[in-house]
């Protein structure tokens, strides 16, 4: 299997039986029976809405201004779709016995603002920020050297036969990634990377076309490999606060719901896969409220990771937000609109490209080799993290830990038995050390 795959096959439209998130009109794009759109009975009003918006994923709106504008309803129906989906998310997260904690909100200590980490603490008489070298601020050359080191660390993993073999058994799915910038470090480290973007392939690149049979038929569910991460730079055109003067029109004519649909589809994929790491990127705006996302985990500007411009960006998901930094003076300011203004798709793509410093910083903070406890604890996220950490510190192989907990964890949903299995491994290891 190729290390990075551009996917060019026809999407299958059969059902995607997700237990909690298959609600709202979006489920019709996956041909879910109306009775199966949630765990509850579908009322007459919702049924009417679902039937009214049944269309194929590639039907473009007459007023489409971006590739994602493929399905539309009015603003009243948008509000209903958002409220139903968000309520379903809340029920799943707050349930007494969640199958997974993949969507749990980050704890306060897990939320990171790179502005604080970068060390801007003072302002001059005119109110402008003062950038102190003693607080870690760098020249552009120094920052580039830091990024080069992050790149070296990614490529070194592929150069090491043992790490390369482990990484090659892990899959990274990168959605809305036309340039491949966010996924590039993972590819360079030897992960199996699959990128999907509707501009690259209008059929298979369309996230609306994902289904269980699509992944089974074309990818054999990735041949049993671990789908380690899902990265998604969801289209921001209809969410970003910089375009809020057009929100009303977009809500009314259906463009907003097309973008909301993509967020919902992304969350369905995450729920289905339950990866150790998942992340959704967007500028400051309304994606969290409309998309049903948990609170954001990371806030950053590109200049905090070595790219000298501003673009306030938030990341939602389950990942380590404590990224390494390479803060530089944002000499280019908000170049996104100064240099890449305009409404053409080319300029929108230029504004949306993932900054290189962030891509490699995110990899350094979240790859499985450097963060084995996170990788295993997130995979088995109902188990005692402290036990997993103790087992790894004792040098118990990952494969042995996984094999000991898989049956009670997945088959029996018996977390107590799974924790006991890890404790038994720890006891055996400690006894062996004392002999």
Per residue in 255-308, pLDDT (tens digit) is: 777 778 888 889 999 998 999 999 999 888 778 887 788 999 999 999 999 999
Which residues have C-beta within 8 Å of that of residue 348, sequence separation ≥ 6?
66, 237
- Give me the tens of pLDDT residue by residue for the chain, a chain 435 residues long: 444 433 333 333 334 434 334 332 232 233 333 233 333 344 444 444 333 333 344 455 555 555 545 444 455 567 777 787 777 777 776 655 567 789 999 999 999 999 888 876 556 556 666 665 555 688 999 999 999 999 999 999 999 999 999 999 999 999 998 899 999 999 999 999 999 987 777 777 888 888 888 788 777 778 888 999 999 998 777 566 666 666 666 666 667 777 788 888 899 999 989 999 999 998 887 788 877 889 999 999 999 999 999 999 999 999 999 999 999 989 898 865 555 445 544 555 445 578 999 999 999 999 999 999 999 999 999 999 999 999 999 999 999 999 999 999 999 999 999 999 999 999 999 888 776
Say if pTM beats, i.e. exceeds, 0.95: no
Encode pLDDT of 276-291 as tens digits: 999 999 888 778 887 7
Question: How, if at all, do strands 277-283 and 298-300 pair?
Answer: unpaired
How many whole angstroms separate alpha carbon 58 and alpha carbon 198? Answer: 10
* Residue 236 CB partners (closer than 8 Å, separation 6+): 282, 283, 285, 287, 352
Domain ranges of the chain: 108-372, 382-434
Pick the CATH number of 108-372 from 3.40.50, 3.90.1570, 3.30.2010, 1.10.3470: 3.40.50
Neighbour-count burial of 130, counting CB atoms closer than 10 A to its CB (0-12 exposed, 13-18 middle, 19+ buried):
exposed
């Amino acid at each position: 299997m190729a290390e990075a795959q551009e996917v060019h096959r026809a999407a299958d439209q059969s059902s995607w039986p997700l237990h909690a998130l298959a609600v709202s009109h979006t489920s019709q794009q996956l041909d879910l029976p109306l009775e199966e759109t949630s765990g509850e009975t579908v009322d007459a009003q919702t049924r009417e809405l679902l039937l009214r918006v049944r269309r194929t994923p590639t039907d473009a709106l007459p007023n489409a201004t971006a590739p994602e504008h493929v399905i539309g309803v009015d603003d009243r129906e948008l509000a209903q779709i958002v409220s139903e989906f968000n309520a379903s998310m809340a029920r799943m997260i707050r349930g007494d016995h969640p199958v997974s904690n993949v969507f749990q909100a980050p704890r306060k200590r897990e939320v990171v603002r790179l502005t604080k980490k970068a060390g801007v603490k003072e302002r001059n008489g005119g109110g402008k920020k003062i950038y102190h070298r003693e607080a870690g601020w760098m020249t552009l050359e120094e920052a580039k050297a830091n990024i080069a080191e992050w790149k070296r660390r990614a490529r070194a993993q592929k150069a090491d036969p043992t790490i390369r073999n482990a990484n090659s058994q892990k899959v990274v799915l990168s959605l809305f990634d036309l340039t491949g910038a966010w996924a590039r470090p993972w590819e360079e480290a030897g992960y199996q990377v699959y990128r999907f973007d509707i501009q690259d392939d209008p059929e298979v690149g369309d996230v609306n076309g994902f289904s269980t049979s699509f992944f089974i038929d074309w990818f054999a569910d990735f041949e049993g490999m671990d789908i380690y991460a899902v990265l998604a730079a969801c289209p921001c055109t209809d969410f970003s606060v910089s375009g809020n003067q057009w929100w009303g029109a977009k809500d009314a004519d259906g463009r907003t719901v097309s973008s909301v649909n993509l967020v919902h589809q992304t969350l369905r994929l995450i729920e289905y896969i339950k990866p150790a790491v998942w992340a959704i990127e967007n500028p400051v705006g309304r994606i969290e409220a409309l998309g049903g996302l948990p609170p954001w985990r990371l806030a950053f500007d590109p200049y905090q990771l070595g790219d000298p411009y501003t673009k306030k960006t938030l990341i939602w998901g389950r990942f380590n937000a404590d990224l390494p930094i390479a803060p530089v003076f944002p000499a280019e300011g908000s170049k996104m609109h100064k240099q890449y203004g305009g409404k053409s798709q080319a300029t929108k793509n230029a504004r949306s490209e993932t900054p290189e410093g962030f891509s490699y910083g995110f990899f350094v903070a979240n790859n499985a080799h450097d963060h084995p406890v996170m990788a295993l604890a997130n995979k088995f996220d109902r188990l005692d993290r402290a036990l997993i950490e103790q087992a790894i510190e004792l040098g118990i192989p990952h494969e042995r830990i996984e094999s000991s907990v898989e049956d009670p964890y997945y088959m029996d949903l018996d977390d107590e038995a799974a924790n006991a299995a890890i404790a038994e491994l720890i006891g055996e290891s400690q006894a062996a050390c004392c002999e």
